[in-house]
């Protein structure tokens, strides 16, 4: 790949001179006259010096002043230019209509104008130098410009949904172009262009229609005895989320019921000191039960708010658990949707039944479509222990029919927990070679597993092209990870995302999901040709470019697992791909009020960021409020039996105070275990310490099992054991809080990132790691209230794996087995994040199914 630069300056100057000659001719044309279709009132075209331009033509115009300052700055970057000389020197616009300017004159006559929708060349998108040299992208922007600014008509062809792009011959003289996608330069997404527009100017222009729709969307409207704003309709007795006036009051949205709406144009006096202004709503607030935040209770608090203070609807069912309601029914209701709550017996329970029934009907419709079309077959690649599949399957909408994982222990873990799946314990490249040979009519040699000795994998276990509805996976991320301080540019693991793209090419799913660390965004390489310059963000660009070439629309975003109910600070980069014609999935809106929301990541120029997922629908509304409190460590593991590592006191002699402290902890129910032999802790299944106290604990303890496994750690040598037992039981304490004698040990002689870090019970787990060793640099794995590292079971809960999820290892030693367990857990996608992604994919599948009767929709 070569970076286009100075060698093309001379050629670009020549094309610029040619265009200048054309423009000078058009600025003072000898003739210019309108064309009309007989009987029509609008202009159908214009003839300028014998050349006819008509509606629908794509024409080139010489660049002027770009109103988008950031994009104008990007134009100055040599790297954004491509090899196509023509595209480097013009802007492209599709003529949507012609008209006469109401005030500007030419030779005493109204200036002839055209209204058009802009295109941009691929080199001016995030693709930059990786773009196809002849591909244009439609923009959501339009303008009125003078007809005389046209330089010439362009040959631009729209590619049909199933039509593949032409090979890029990188011809610098090419004047023919194609397009198939709309580029959203705010979200940096590549989507299907709009296919339906209105019939009347300006709404015949898709961009005008979108602007008109957005203006209406962001305007307060009175509809059906209610108010509409940002795509939501509010009625009396709807239950709504209410934003706080300040983050200092907390990040969890309030819940209230609308008791009155002023749909008039005058004030309404509700009491001597209360006035409801036009467009305002009167609310009755409800408080959450401390024991169960999904249960809400009536309060006397009322107030008046503007519609902008609301953040959507929630849905409430009355259940009287003290009388007759089945607790399982209540649990099923609240677990079926993040916006579901319940209340106890209320004599005057009210709700807007029309809105409630509409919501229930939408859920039933999705369930009905799922039954009609059966569950979506999923092929998970680099499946590991199965966190992604575990989350996707929670919706009841997906089934992982095939999983590919080279590691024998991880593959066995997946198989034990997904007995209906065909688990291919093999190298993905071997599977691809086998499938390509089959596709090409060859007779491949049997695919062999990674076991020792290898086992032939039956041919009927191999998916065929078109069978998976979704291909998903998280390729190993070590070459991109910030935790890897020894990165190499030629690390072969950097190519694994492209192996996943090969899987999409071979199996042709309608949907594609790729998960990885945020470090992938920064991965750059040195060009192997040309001037040897740095290709910035090369992996990001090429993933998008490959998906576009395979006819997938593309969205990507950084999501924070903690904002979707994981008790963990873990950002992940997610790519969604959808076959053209299929509904592109929206990213899930945050459901939990997490103190460290996903960050904005800068791209190539100042003020150009990848925006994080958000709940606010209004422009610029980036609030971080959410319906549910973040899940804390205490929420996640507070029901588990307690134990400590026994302090060996090799550095500090045991004192009577130490003995008394241990006796006190034992009396309070905290078991003491010697850390010299693995496993350390409850080697046999053990009873829970308490009943489930939070919704998260209830979800982890699915079923009625009275005992739990894996509540143990690996063994530990005396120094890390004593250090772990000496770091104070204080949030975020670490090795810096140890007494001086500890610093003589080799582990602490070199001061660097904190080690022996203690977690905060009211905070969250740090990003899950594959090795739980308190002495490791940057390690925060000490239990917040007990003298030890977190157990295997607690690591499982940090990632959202249910307690009955089985872990497997073929290691001979206990330490080897425990290391396998931690590694499998740490490598997984957090299950709550995967579940949120599953809800988004489900919604996209349902919308695509609804489109199926329409002509041209893809088959599923």
Token pair 């569950």 in the structure block, residue: 375
Q: How far apart are CA 87 and CA 56, in angstroms?
A: 19
Extract the tokens encoding 720: 């890390």
Q: Could you confirm whether 582 is annotated as catalytic?
A: no
Q: How far apart are CA 509 and CA 378, in angstroms?
A: 9
Extract the tokens encoding 836: 């949120």
Contact 430, 452 (CB under 8 A): no
Percent composition of the chain: helix, strand, coil (DSSP 3-state, to 5): 30, 25, 45
Given the residues 477, 582, 755, 764, the one annotated as active site: 477
Token pair 């930059």 in the structure block, residue: 128
> Any idea what DSSP says for residue 568?
B
Contact 376, 666 (CB under 8 A): no
Q: Where on the phi/psi map is residue 535: left (φ > 0), alpha (ψ -120 to 50), or beta?
A: beta
Which of 246, 254, 307 has the alpha carbon at shortest distance from 276? 307
- For 180, phi then psi, to 5°, come to -150, -15
Q: How far apart are CA 796 and CA 808, in angstroms?
A: 13
Contact 35, 45 (CB under 8 A): yes
As a residue count, the chain comes to 860
Buried b (16+ CB within 10 A) or exposed e, 267-279: ebeeeeeeebeeb
State the maximum Cα–Cα separation within the chain, in Å, rounded to a whole number: 106
Q: How far apart are CA 521 and CA 534, in angstroms?
A: 15
Q: Are strands 592-593 and 274-276 parallel, antiparallel or unpaired?
A: unpaired
Burial (CB count within 10 angstroms: exposed 0-12, middle 13-18, buried 19+), residue 856: exposed
Which of 528, 512, 476 has the alpha carbon at shortest distance from 585? 512
Extract the tokens encoding 134: 């002849």
Element (H, E) at 338: none
Q: How far apart are CA 764 and CA 312, in angstroms?
A: 27
Token pair 């791909």 in the structure block, residue: 577
Q: How far apart are CA 481 and CA 778, in angstroms?
A: 14
Extract the tokens encoding 620: 């610029």
Query: Which residues lie across from 276 on neighbouring strands?
Result: 268
DSSP 737-765: GS-GGGGGSHHHHS--S--SEEP-TTS-B
> Any idea what DSSP says for residue 671?
E
In this structure, the number of other CB atoms found within 10 A of the CB of residue 559 comes to 25
Which residues make Cβ contacts (< 8 Å) with residue 201, sequence separation at least 6?
42, 96, 97, 99, 115
N-term to C-term CA, the chain: 37
Q: Are strands 376-381 and 686-687 parallel, antiparallel or unpaired?
A: unpaired
Which residues make Cβ contacts (< 8 Å) with residue 682, sequence separation at least 6?
641, 643, 671, 711, 712
Element (H, E) at 848: helix 831-851
Give the chain's radius of gyration (CA, Å). 31
Q: How far apart are CA 319 and CA 547, in angstroms?
A: 48
CA atoms within 13 A on the CB side of 544: 27
Contact 461, 442 (CB under 8 A): no
Catalytic site residues? 477
């Amino acid at each position: 790949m070569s970076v286009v630069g100075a060698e093309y300056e001379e050629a670009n100057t020549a094309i610029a001179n040619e265009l200048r000659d054309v423009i000078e001719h058009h600025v003072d044309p000898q003739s210019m006259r309108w064309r009309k279709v007989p009987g029509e009132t609008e202009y159908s075209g214009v003839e300028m010096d014998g050349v006819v331009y008509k509606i629908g033509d794509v024409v080139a115009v010489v660049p002027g002043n770009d109103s988008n300052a950031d994009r104008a700055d990007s134009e100055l970057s040599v790297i954004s230019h491509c090899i196509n000389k023509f595209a480097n020197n013009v802007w492209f616009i599709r003529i949507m209509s012609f008209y006469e300017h109401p005030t500007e004159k030419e030779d005493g006559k109204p200036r002839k104008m055209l209204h058009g929708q802009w295109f941009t060349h691929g080199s001016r998108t995030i693709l930059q130098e990786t773009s196809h040299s002849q591909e244009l992208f439609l923009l959501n922007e339009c303008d009125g410009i003078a007809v005389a600014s046209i330089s010439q008509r362009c040959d631009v062809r729209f590619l049909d949904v199933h039509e593949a792009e032409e090979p890029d011959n990188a011809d610098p003289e090419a004047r023919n172009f194609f397009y198939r996608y709309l580029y959203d330069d705010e979200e940096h997404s590549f989507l299907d262009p709009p296919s339906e527009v209105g019939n009347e100017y300006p709404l015949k222009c898709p961009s005008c229609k979108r602007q008109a729709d957005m203006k209406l969307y962001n305007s307060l409207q009175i509809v059906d005895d209610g108010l509409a704003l940002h795509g939501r309709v509010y009625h009396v007795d709807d239950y709504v989320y209410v934003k706080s006036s300040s983050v200092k009051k907390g990040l969890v949205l309030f819940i209230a019921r609308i008791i009155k709406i002023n749909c008039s144009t005058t004030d309404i006096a509700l009491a001597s000191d209360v006035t409801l202004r036009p467009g305002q709503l009167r609310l009755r607030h409800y408080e959450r039960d401390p024991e169960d935040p999904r249960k809400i209770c009536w309060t006397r608090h009322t107030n008046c708010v503007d519609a902008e203070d609301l953040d959507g609807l929630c849905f409430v069912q009355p259940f009287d658990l003290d009388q007759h309601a089945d607790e399982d029914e209540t649990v099923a209701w609240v677990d079926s949707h993040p916006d579901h709550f319940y209340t106890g017996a209320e004599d005057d329970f009210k709700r807007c039944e029309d809105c409630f029934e509409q919501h229930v009907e939408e859920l039933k419709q999705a369930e009905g479509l799922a039954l009609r079309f059966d569950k979506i077959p999923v092929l998970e690649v680099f499946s590991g222990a199965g966190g992604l599949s575990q989350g996707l399957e929670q919706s009841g909408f997906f089934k992982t029919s095939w999983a590919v994982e080279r590691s024998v222990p991880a593959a066995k873990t997946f198989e034990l927990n997904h007995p209906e799946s065909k688990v291919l314990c093999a190298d993905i490249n071997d599977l691809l070679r086998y499938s390509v040979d089959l596709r090409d009519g060859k007779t491949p040699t049997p695919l062999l597993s990674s076991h020792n000795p290898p086992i032939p994998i039956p041919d009927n276990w191999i998916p065929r092209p078109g069978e998976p509805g979704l291909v998903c996976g998280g390729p190993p991320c070590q070459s991109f990870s910030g935790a890897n301080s020894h990165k190499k540019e030629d690390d072969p693991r950097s190519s694994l995302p492209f192996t996943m793209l090969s899987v999409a090419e071979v199996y042709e799913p309608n949907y594609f999901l790729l998960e990885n660390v945020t470090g992938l965004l920064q991965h750059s390489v040195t060009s192997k040709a040309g001037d040897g310059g740095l290709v910035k963000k090369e992996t990001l660009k090429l993933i998008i470019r490959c998906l576009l070439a395979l006819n997938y629309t593309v969205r990507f975003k950084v999501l924070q697992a903690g904002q979707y109910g994981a008790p963990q600070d873990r950002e992940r980069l997610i790519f969604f791909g959808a076959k053209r014609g299929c509904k592109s999935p929206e990213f899930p809106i945050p459901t939990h009020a997490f103190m460290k929301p996903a960050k904005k990541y800068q791209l190539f120029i100042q003020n150009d960021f990848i925006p994080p997922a958000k709940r606010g629908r209004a422009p610029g509304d980036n609030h971080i409020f959410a319906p549910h409190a973040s899940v804390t460590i205490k929420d996640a593991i507070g029901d588990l039996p307690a134990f400590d590592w026994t302090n060996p006191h090799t550095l500090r002699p045991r004192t009577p105070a130490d003995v008394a402290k241990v006796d006190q902890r034992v009396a309070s129910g905290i078991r003491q275990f010697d850390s010299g032999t693995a496993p350390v802790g409850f080697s046999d299944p053990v009873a829970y310490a308490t009943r489930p106290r939070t919704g998260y604990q209830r979800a982890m303890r699915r079923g009625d099992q009275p005992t739990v496994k894996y509540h143990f750690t690996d063994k530990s040598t005396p120094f890390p054991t004593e250090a772990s037992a000496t770091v104070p039981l204080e949030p975020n304490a670490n090795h810096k809080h140890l007494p001086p004698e500890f610093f003589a040990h080799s582990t602490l002689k070199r001061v660097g990132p904190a080690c022996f870090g203690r977690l905060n019970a009211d905070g969250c787990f740090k990003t899950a790691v594959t090795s739980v060793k308190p002495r490791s640099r940057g390690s925060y794995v000490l239990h917040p209230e007990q003298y030890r590292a977190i157990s295997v079971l607690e690591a499982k809960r940090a990632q959202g794996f249910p307690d009955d999820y089985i872990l497997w290892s073929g290691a001979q030693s206990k330490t080897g087995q425990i290391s396998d367990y931690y590694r499998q857990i740490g490598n997984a996608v957090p299950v709550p994040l995967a579940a949120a992604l599953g809800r988004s994919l489900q919604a996209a599948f349902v919308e695509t199914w609804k489109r199926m009767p329409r002509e041209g929709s893809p088959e599923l």
